[in-house]
């Protein structure tokens, strides 16, 4: 159930867009102009979607909308924005779509404001945390406009923003206010989220019975949680009509205009540093040590709920990393992944490179490392590396809940995961004292000699300091002494030689003349 939560805000925005786009029948009005507009919009709807046995004719729909735009009809602006966004009747053009949505919003269309929020949320033209945060605040401002225009799904988007700390300071209590308001309006998304809050005691006193009842209500309203869509095409019309009916007439805004503008923005460093201080005792026993992040760090990756206070998962983690002039290279090794890392340091935040590097897999889902901050400390055990991590879900364009690392610097290069104890331990597979790499410096042929306690397949690889692979060989090696020689035809410079296998992760530097 929990793995569904990270996609709810995006799903709400997108389903709002789909539903609004697919059913565009305005409410009846005794005003003759409104009646005429409603009839024209219904006719344009038939041309656009081929409804009521009408042949699809995009140009006919466009002509109707342009005529209504001349009469300042907000819904016509909104629909032309949809056609530009979808590339129906026009060449697809996000800029033109945005202009029409903004014009519709100015004329009172809350759904147009939420469509802008969805477009901005799907924007991935950011690299630093500050850029992401600025984009998140833009999403929230437009969702706030939708809510202030009485559009129900704008309230839901704001509730999810408080729930996740997306663009706003995380606050379960505020999220529950929105979910409770909308659940009473028969909104299935809000009913599900309110139920989940009751099940877990997020922002309310825990009540498993009330939580289960709310979730069952959401499911009974044909909310398919795995994809937020109906099960068959034949269900679509009734489901769509049900959602439209749920909107009803515009309600009094739940929040005051400008309330979001004055809210505290989400902060990358806001959690869970206090939790770290409670989990591990630091001292100044290595105050005179010159810190380097380069090395082998082993310990735990701890994932919290969105508040950063409650642990929901712990797993073993090992980082094999080295840092050169503000660039980070290395490997991330956990119970599910063994992937290469690359990051650059920007304003004290490590910004990780794009996929396929830094891409972690959790079952069917993939998550990309995006941002991290690291802190160095010591205790009686030795050097400690702690930090915050943000992992990004490319498919839903959303972040996973916050996570921290608590790692100790390893005294040996050879680490495996001991599943019985559930932690990283020093392995006996490869004897570190037996490894010889010669000659070093090397001009042409390099020899690697090592001893194994058991036969196993290994990969011997050489990487440049920029992380580029210049040599690799995978083979089966015997118990006892092994010798491997190869020509190193690389440019002069410093390289990293790695020996990697199941339970083996060895790195040493070599100099190429």
- Where does the pLDDT of residue 461 fall: very low under 50, low under 70, confident under 90, or very high at 90 and above? confident
Q: Is the peptide bond before 272 cis (omega within 30 degrees of 0)?
A: yes
At the top level of CATH, the class of 2-247 is mainly alpha
CATH 2.60.40.3080 fits 432-512, yes or no: yes
Q: Cα angle vertex 117, ends 115, 85, to 5°?
A: 40
Q: Among 100-109, 209-218, 407-416, 435-444, whose mean pLDDT is lowest?
A: 407-416
Q: What is the DSSP string of 49-60?
A: HT-TTPPP-HHH
pLDDT of 418-429, one tens digit each?
333 333 333 456
pLDDT of 279-328, one tens digit each?
444 444 555 555 677 777 888 888 888 888 888 888 888 888 878 777 88
Residue 363 CA to residue 271 CA, distance in Å, equals 27
**Domain extents in the chain:** 2-247, 273-425, 432-512
Q: What is the structure's pLDDT at 467?
A: 65
Q: Among 15-19, 27-31, 380-384, whose mean pLDDT is lowest?
A: 15-19
Return the percentage of the chain with pLDDT > 90, whole number.
24
pLDDT of 86-139, one tens digit each?
999 999 999 999 999 999 999 999 999 999 999 998 888 888 878 888 888 899
E strand or H helix at 428, and its extent?
none
Greater model confidence, 444 or 424: 444
Region of residue 5 (left: phi > 0; alpha: psi -120 to 50; beta: else): alpha
Q: What is the structure's pLDDT at 357?
A: 65
Interval 377-393 mean pLDDT: 78
Q: Where are the beta strands (DSSP E) in 99-249?
A: none
Rounded to an integer, what is the distance from CA 415 to the centroid of its chain?
29
Three-class SS of residue 497? strand
Q: Among 27-31, 470-474, 485-489, 500-504, whose mean pLDDT is lowest?
A: 27-31
- Where does the pLDDT of residue 226 fall: very low under 50, low under 70, confident under 90, or very high at 90 and above? very low
pLDDT of 171-215, one tens digit each?
899 999 999 988 988 888 889 899 999 998 999 999 999 998 998
Q: What is the DSSP string of 220-245?
A: HTT--TTTTS-SSGGGHHHHHHHHHH
Greater model confidence, 278 or 217: 217
Residue 72 CA to residue 110 CA, distance in Å, equals 16
Is pTM, for the whole model, over 0.75?
no
Q: Where are the beta strands (DSSP E) in 353-487?
A: 359-362, 365-379, 382-393, 398-399, 403-409, 415-418, 423-426, 436-438, 445-452, 456-464, 469-477, 480-487
Greater model confidence, 224 or 185: 185
CA proximity to 243, closest of 61, 15, 62, 400:
15
| CATH hierarchy code of domain 273-425 | 2.40.128
pLDDT of 232-282, one tens digit each?
223 333 322 333 333 333 334 444 334 455 555 555 544 444 444 444 444
Tell me if 436 sits within 8 A of 483, measured CB to CB.
no
- Beta-carbon contacts of 435 under 8 Å, excluding residues fewer than 6 positions away, are 448, 449, 450, 499, 506, 508
Where would I find the H helices in 230-302?
Answer: 236-247, 273-279
Instruction: Give the pair of three-digit tokens for residue 69.
Output: 């735009």
Largest CA distance in the chain: 93
Q: What is the DSSP string of 301-355?
A: EEEE-TTSSSEEEEEEEEEEEEEETTEEEEEEEESS-EEEEEEEEETTEEEEPPT
Greater model confidence, 452 or 335: 452
Res 140 pLDDT > 60: yes
- Where does the pLDDT of residue 503 fall: very low under 50, low under 70, confident under 90, or very high at 90 and above? low
Instruction: Give the pair of three-digit tokens for residue 456.
Output: 């196993």
Q: What is the structure's pLDDT at 385?
A: 82
Q: What is the structure's pLDDT at 264?
A: 53
Q: What is the structure's pLDDT at 263?
A: 55
Interval 142-158 mean pLDDT: 90
Q: What is the mean pLDDT of the chain?
A: 76
């Amino acid at each position: 159930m929990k793995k569904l939560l990270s996609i709810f805000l995006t799903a709400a925005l997108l389903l709002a867009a789909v539903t609004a786009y697919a059913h565009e029948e305005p409410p009846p009005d005794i005003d003759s102009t409104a009646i005429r507009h409603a009839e024209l919009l219904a006719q344009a709807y038939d041309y656009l979607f081929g409804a009521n046995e009408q042949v699809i004719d995009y140009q006919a729909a466009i002509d109707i909308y342009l005529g209504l735009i001349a009469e300042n009809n907000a819904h016509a602006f909104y629909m032309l924005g949809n056609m530009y966004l979808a590339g129906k009747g026009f060449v697809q053009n996000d800029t033109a779509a945005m202009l029409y949505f903004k014009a519709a919003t100015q004329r009172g269309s809350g759904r147009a404001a939420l469509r802008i929020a969805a477009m901005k949320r799907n924007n991935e033209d950011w690299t630093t945390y500050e850029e992401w945060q600025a984009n998140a605040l833009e999403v929230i401002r437009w969702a706030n406009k939708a809510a202030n225009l009485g559009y129900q799904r704008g309230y839901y988007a704001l509730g999810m923003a408080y729930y996740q700390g997306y663009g706003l300071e995380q606050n379960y209590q505020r999220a529950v206010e929105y979910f409770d308001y909308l659940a009473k309006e028969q909104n299935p998304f809000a009913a599900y989220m309110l139920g989940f809050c009751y099940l877990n005691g997020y922002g309310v006193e825990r009540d498993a019975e009330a939580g289960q009842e709310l979730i069952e209500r959401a499911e009974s309203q044909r909310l398919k949680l795995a994809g937020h869509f109906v099960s068959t095409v034949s269900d679509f019309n009734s489901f769509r009509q049900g959602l439209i009916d749920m909107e009803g007439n515009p309600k009094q805004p739940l929040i005051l205009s400008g309330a979001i503008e004055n809210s505290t923005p989400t902060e990358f460093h806001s959690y869970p540093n206090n939790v770290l201080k409670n989990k591990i005792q630091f001292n100044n026993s290595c105050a005179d040590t010159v810190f380097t992040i380069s090395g082998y760090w082993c310990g735990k990756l701890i994932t919290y709920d969105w508040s950063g206070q409650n642990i929901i998962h712990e797993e073993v983690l090992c980082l094999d990393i080295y840092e050169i002039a503000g660039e980070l290279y290395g490997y991330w090794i956990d119970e599910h992944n063994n992937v290469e890392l690359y990051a650059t340091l920007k304003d004290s935040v490590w910004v990780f490179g794009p996929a396929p590097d830094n891409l972690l897999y959790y079952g069917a889902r993939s998550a990309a490392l995006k941002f991290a901050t690291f802190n160095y400390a010591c205790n009686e055990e030795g050097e400690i590396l702690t930090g915050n991590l943000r992992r990004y879900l490319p498919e839903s364009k959303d972040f996973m809940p916050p996570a921290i690392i608590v790692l100790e610097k390893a005294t040996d290069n050879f680490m495996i995961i001991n599943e019985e104890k559930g932690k990283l331990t020093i392995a006996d597979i490869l004897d570190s004292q037996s490894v010889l790499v010669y000659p070093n410096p090397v001009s042409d042929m390099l020899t690697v000699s090592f001893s194994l306690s058991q036969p196993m397949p290994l990969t011997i690889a050489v990487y440049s300091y920029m992380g580029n692979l210049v040599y690799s060989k995978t083979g089966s090696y015997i118990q006892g002494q092994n010798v491997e020689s190869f020509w190193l035809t690389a440019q002069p410079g410093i390289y990293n030689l790695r020996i990697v296998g199941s339970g083996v992760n060895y790195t040493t530097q070599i100099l190429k003349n």
